[in-house]
Amino acid sequence: MAVQAEKVVSDFCGAWSKLNVEEIMSFFTDDAVYHNIPMPVAKGKDVIRKTIEGLLKGTKSIKFEILHSATAGNVVMNERVDSFDAGGKHVSLPVMGVFEITDGGKIKAWRDYFDLEMYMKQIR
């Protein structure tokens, strides 16, 4: 399970570079939870879709670079650098992600931890 779970997360992170909402959403269960901490939690695929569409609006490019990954059963933790170009700004942000993967290879929970102030300084 650990190898499969880590591949799901790696493929999911790679999918973001295509800026394709349908492909990104295909990784989630219908009742998934996405918490981009410190932002409000998004529960359910419809709410997650709206959140991701908001994140991608005006985005010209995005890359999730996985630096390190650790997996225990169906839980994958990764240290990443998320970089994107949106609204005429380039943002590069260290992120710690935690993913819970179902036995069927879908994301049922995703939590990202990052420094909101570091993000805000880059978009000002």
Query: Which residues of the chain are modeled with pLDDT < 50?
Result: none
* Predicted pLDDT of residue 1: 63
Among this protein's residues, is 112 annotated catalytic?
yes
Q: Which CATH class is domain 2-123?
A: alpha beta
- Give the dihedral sign, CA 78/54/89/113: negative
* Predicted pLDDT of residue 2: 67
Element (H, E) at 3: helix 2-15
* Predicted pLDDT of residue 38: 84
Which sequence spans correspond to the domains of the chain?
A: 2-123
* Predicted pLDDT of residue 86: 87
Catalytic residue among 31, 46, 82, 115: 82
Catalytic residue among 46, 85, 112, 115: 112
Among this protein's residues, is 85 annotated catalytic?
no
* Predicted pLDDT of residue 112: 97
Backbone Cα Rg of the chain:
14
